[in-house]
Amino acid sequence: MNKFRIGILFAFGLCTLESNGQNLLNLNEWVTGTGNIAGFSPSGLATENLREWGIGPQGTQVVLWKATPSGDQDADGGFNSADIPINNQKTYRYVVWIKKTNSKDGAPF
């Protein structure tokens, strides 16, 4: 089985339209490295998950969550997010940009 990489670009547009696009996430914790950060936990081994600098969807340099599957058929990189409390009187948008590289097989989820 061919291994593939999924670069999950952190471009979360989690916001309410009524608050003029205020991001509900603490971006101060979204830094390069490995392991948990507020609201996100790795799926799979530490070696399959890395936050690193890269080019985001708007062509600027951003911190990306890079998932590199080991191919062991278990959780192979990516993240799980915590539940986000919402107000049913507001509108929200939650966006995850995904870039798949070095493969033409597999699935992003």
For 16-70, write each residue's pLDDT tens digit.
334 445 676 777 888 999 988 888 899 888 889 999 999 988 899 989 999 888 8
In three-state secondary structure terms, 48 is helix
Within-domain flag for 33:
yes
Within-domain flag for 12:
yes
Within-domain flag for 108:
no
What's the pLDDT at 69?
Answer: 83
Asked whether residue 12 carries a pLDDT value surpassing 70, the answer given is no
The domain tally of the chain equals: 1
Within-domain flag for 84:
yes
Within-domain flag for 56:
yes
Predicted structure pTM score:
0.66
Within-domain flag for 109:
no
**How crowded is residue 92: how many other Cβ atoms within 10 Å of its Cβ?**
15
Tokens of 5: 């990489």
Q: If 0-12 CB within 10 Å is exposed, 13-18 middle and 19+ buried, where does residue 49 land?
A: buried
CA distance 39 to 80: 8
Average pLDDT of the residues in 73-93: 84
- Beta strand 61-67 pairing with 97-101: unpaired
Within-domain flag for 65:
yes
Within-domain flag for 60:
yes
**Domain limits for position 75:** 5-96
CA distance 82 to 102: 30
User: What stretches of the chain adopt beta strand conformation (E)?
Assistant: 5-9, 15-16, 40-44, 49-55, 61-67, 76-81, 92-93, 97-101
Using the structure block, give the residue that is written with the tokens 């600098």: 53
